[in-house]
Amino acid sequence: MKIDKREVEYVAHLARLDFSEEEKERFTSQLDNILMYMDKLNQVDTSGVEPMSHAITLVNAFRDDKVGESLTHGLSLANAPEARGDCFSVPKVIE
């Protein structure tokens, strides 16, 4: 067993997800299966290998510090589920 229900609950919290009991059971066994499959990577000797995060060698992409076009206030708020005035509206965070 690589992962148990308690760990699934903890990871779900980190990922900002909620699951029903039935979903938790299902995810636990599916993730467990997948993680067991991943264990085959332990067969590979990777000593001295640099981890690769991108397929191409990336350099910083700089541009001149010039003001360009940007979205208007209205356009930025146009897709908001809830907005008030010039702001996105969310449940109260500070008491």
CB atoms within 10 A of CB 5: 14
Closest distance between other proteins and the C-beta of residue 49, in Å?
Answer: 4
Residues that bind other proteins (CB under 8 A): 3, 7-8, 11-12, 14-19, 27, 30-31, 33-35, 37-38, 40-42, 44, 46, 49-56, 58, 61, 63, 71, 75-76, 78-82, 88, 90-93
5 neighbors 13 (Cβ within 8 angstroms): no
Burial (Cβ within 10 Å: 0-12, 13-18, ≥19) of residue 77 = middle
Closest distance between other proteins and the C-beta of residue 13, in Å?
Answer: 8
